C-alpha cells in the first residue's frame, strides 16, 4: 500500500486507486498525475484497504476495482461511502457480462460512473482516448454532488433538508423557453439522453413511466456489454419490455429501447413502421452511442411530435439535437444541477434556453407522464 504523507491541497482533485493489480494502479497513477490538477493520495489493493483510505484521506474521487481478493469492490462500496460520504466512486471493470452486472449494481448503491479497464498499449498510451476521457471525467466530478441509493425514495424537499444547497454552487442562470409556443399535443415518442450518473437517474425516471402508450428510446453513454446489462436491469426494475437496440428492430408502443454500446441508434420509417438502424459513423461529442444522432434522426421523422429529457451527464451531447427539436416546436426538459451528478449535458440545454422545464430528478418522471397523457 502506498500512501503519501500529505493529502492533496484543496485546489487539486484527490484520487484513491483501488485494484489488486499493481500494474494497473501504476498505469492509472501515471495517467492521472500527468495532469497537474490531479493528485493520487493513496494506492491500495483490496476493498478493506479502500475503506481505510476513504476514512483517512477523504478523497474527492475513488477508482474502485470490481473483482479483488480479501474484499471485492461491491462489498467495499457501502463502507467507502459511509467512511467518506462526499467521495465520488468510479467502478473499474473488465468488459465482461459479470463485470457489467456487478458495476450496474454498484451504481444503484451510489457509484457515479464506470470505466472499462484499458486493454492494449494503444488503449492506455499517452494521448489515448482512455487517458483523455479519464482525466476529463475526474475533473468533471470535482465538486459534483454524489447521489445515494436512498435519494430515489425521498422527496426533493427531504433531500434539500438532508444536504443543504451550497449557494456558491448555484447553476449558471438560464431562461426557460415559452412553453406555450411548443407542441402540446400527444408526442409520438419519448427520447432520453444521459451519461455520468445516468443509470441511477434512468431507474428513477423510468419507474414513473410504466404503462405509457408511446415508445421510449434512450441513449446512455456506455460501452458494449454494459448496455446489454443496463437493458436487463431496466426491465427488471420497471417491468416494462426493454430491448438493447438491434438493426431493423421494430419500435413498438409501450416498449423501451436502449442504444447499443459502440453504435449510434438511428431510426427509419418502413411504411408505417418505425425501425432502428445501427449507425457506425464516427463518435460525436467523443461518444458512441451519442444523443445528437438519435435526436436528429427522430426529428427528421416526427418533427415537433417528440418529447425529450436530458439527464445528468458530462459534456454537451444532446444540445445540438435538442436545439433542432425545439426549432421544430418540440419540447425538451432537463435535470437540475442539484440532483445531477454532473450538470454538463442538462446544463448545456438549460443555459441555451431550450428547456420547457428544469426539474429535480424525482419530478422528471411525473412531468413526462403528464406531458404524454
pLDDT value for 143: 66
The rounded percent of the chain whose pLDDT value lies above 90 is 77
Tell me the pLDDT tens digit for each residue of 58-101: 999 999 999 999 999 999 999 999 999 999 999 999 878 888 89
Q: Give the pLDDT band of residue 27 (cuts 50, 70, 90).
A: very high
CA separation for the pair 320, 303 (Å, rounded):
15
- Give the whole-angstrom CA distance, residue 362 versus residue 359: 8
Report the candidate in 93, 194, 198 with the shortest Cα–Cα distance to residue 147: 198
- Residue 89 has phi, psi (to 5 degrees) of -100, 125
Q: What is the pLDDT of residue 122?
A: 43
The grid coordinates listed for 301 are 421523422
Phi-psi region of 225 (alpha: psi -120 to 50; beta: other; left: phi over 0): left
Give which of 109, 89, 300, 99 is closest to 196, Cα–Cα. Answer: 89
**Given this model, what pLDDT does residue 170 score?**
53
What pLDDT score was predicted for residue 38?
95
Q: What is the torsional sign of CA 372, 330, 205, 65?
A: positive
Query: What pLDDT, on the 0 to 100 scale, is given for residue 224?
Result: 87
How far is residue 173 CA from its own chain's centroid?
A: 23
What pLDDT band is residue 144 in, cutting at 50, 70 and 90? Answer: low
Residue 152, pLDDT score: 34
Q: Out of 109-118, 140-149, 173-182, 232-241, give the one with best mean pLDDT.
A: 232-241
Averaged pLDDT for residues 352-368: 97
Q: Is residue 149 over pLDDT 50?
A: no
Note the pLDDT tens digit of each residue in 281-318: 999 999 999 999 999 999 999 999 999 999 999 999 99
pLDDT over threshold 80, residue 141: yes
Band of pLDDT at residue 3, cut at 50, 70 and 90? very low
Average pLDDT over residues 132-138: 92
pLDDT band at 178 (very low <50, low <70, confident <90, very high): confident
Angle at 332 between CA 328 and CA 335, to 5 degrees: 165
* 81 grid coordinates: 461511502
Neighbours of 231 (CB within 10 A): 21
Range in 13-17, 151-155, 249-253, 319-323 the model is least confident about: 151-155
Share of the chain above pLDDT 70, in %: 88
Mean pLDDT for the chain overall: 88
Asked if 368 and 309 count as a contact pair (C-beta separation under 8 A), the reply is yes
Q: Do β-strands 264-270 and 273-279 pair in parallel, antiparallel, or remain unpaired? A: antiparallel
Once rounded to an integer, what is the mean pLDDT over residues 247-254?
Answer: 97
The closest of 183, 175, 133, 100 to 31, measured between CA atoms, is: 133
pLDDT of 181 strictly over 90: no
Q: What per-residue confidence (pLDDT) applies to 153? A: 33
CA-closest candidate to residue 144, choices 29, 313, 286: 313
Q: Give the mean model confidence (pLDDT) for residues 161-188.
A: 70
Q: Which domains does the chain have, with CATH numbers?
A: 13-141 (3.40.50.2300), 162-372 (3.40.50.180)
Q: What is the pLDDT of residue 130?
A: 87
Catalytic residues: 195, 221, 317
Strands 331-335, 189-194: parallel, antiparallel or unpaired by DSSP?
unpaired
* Residue 120: pLDDT over 60: no
Q: What's the pLDDT score for residue 268? A: 97
Kindly report the pTM of this predicted structure.
0.87
Amino acid at each position: 500500500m502506498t500512501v503519501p504523507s500529505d493529502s492533496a491541497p484543496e485546489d487539486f482533485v484527490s484520487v484513491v486507486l483501488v485494484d489488486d493489480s499493481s500494474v494497473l494502479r501504476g498505469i492509472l497513477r501515471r495517467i492521472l498525475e500527468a495532469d497537474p490538477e490531479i493528485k493520487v493520495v493513496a494506492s491500495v489493493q483490496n476493498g478493506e484497504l479502500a475503506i481505510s483510505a476513504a476514512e483517512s484521506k477523504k478523497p474527492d474521487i475513488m477508482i474502485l476495482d470490481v473483482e479483488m481478493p480479501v474484499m471485492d469492490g461491491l462489498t467495499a462500496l457501502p463502507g467507502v461511502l459511509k467512511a467518506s460520504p462526499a467521495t465520488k466512486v468510479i467502478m473499474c471493470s473488465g468488459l465482461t457480462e459479470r463485470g457489467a452486472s456487478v458495476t450496474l449494481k454498484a451504481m444503484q448503491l451510489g457509484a457515479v460512473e464506470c470505466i472499462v479497464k484499458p486493454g492494449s498499449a494503444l488503449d492506455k498510451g499517452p494521448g489515448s482516448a482512455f487517458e483523455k476521457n479519464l482525466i476529463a471525467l475526474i475533473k468533471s466530478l470535482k465538486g459534483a454532488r454524489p447521489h445515494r441509493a436512498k435519494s430515489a425514495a425521498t422527496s426533493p424537499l427531504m433531500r434539500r433538508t438532508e444536504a443543504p444547497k451550497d449557494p456558491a454552487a448555484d447553476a449558471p442562470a438560464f431562461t426557460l423557453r415559452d412553453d406555450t409556443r411548443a407542441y402540446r399535443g400527444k408526442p409520438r415518442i419519448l427520447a432520453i439522453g444521459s451519461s455520468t450518473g445516468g443509470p441511477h437517474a434512468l431507474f428513477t425516471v423510468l419507474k414513473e413511466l410504466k404503462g405509457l402508450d408511446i415508445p421510449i428510446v434512450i441513449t446512455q453513454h456506455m460501452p458494449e456489454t454494459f448496455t446489454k446489462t443496463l437493458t436487463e436491469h431496466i426491465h427488471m426494475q420497471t417491468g416494462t419490455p426493454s430491448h438493447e437496440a438491434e438493426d431493423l428492430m421494430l419500435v413498438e408502443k409501450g416498449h423501451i429501447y436502449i442504444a447499443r454500446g459502440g453504435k449510434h441508434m438511428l431510426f427509419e420509417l418502413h411504411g408505417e413502421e418505425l425501425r432502428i438502424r445501427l449507425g457506425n459513423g464516427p463518435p460525436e461529442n467523443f461518444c458512441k452511442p451519442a444523443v445528437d444522432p438519435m435526436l436528429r434522426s427522430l426529428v427528421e421523422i416526427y418533427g415537433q411530435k417528440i418529447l425529450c429529457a436530458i439527464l445528468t451527464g458530462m459534456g454537451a451531447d444532446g444540445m445540438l439535437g435538442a436545439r433542432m427539436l425545439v426549432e421544430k416546436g418540440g419540447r425538451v426538459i432537463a435535470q437540475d444541477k442539484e440532483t445531477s451528478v454532473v450538470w454538463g449535458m442538462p446544463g448545456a440545454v438549460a443555459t441555451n434556453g431550450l428547456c420547457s422545464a428544469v426539474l429535480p430528478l424525482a419530478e422528471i418522471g411525473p412531468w413526462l407522464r403528464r406531458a404524454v397523457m
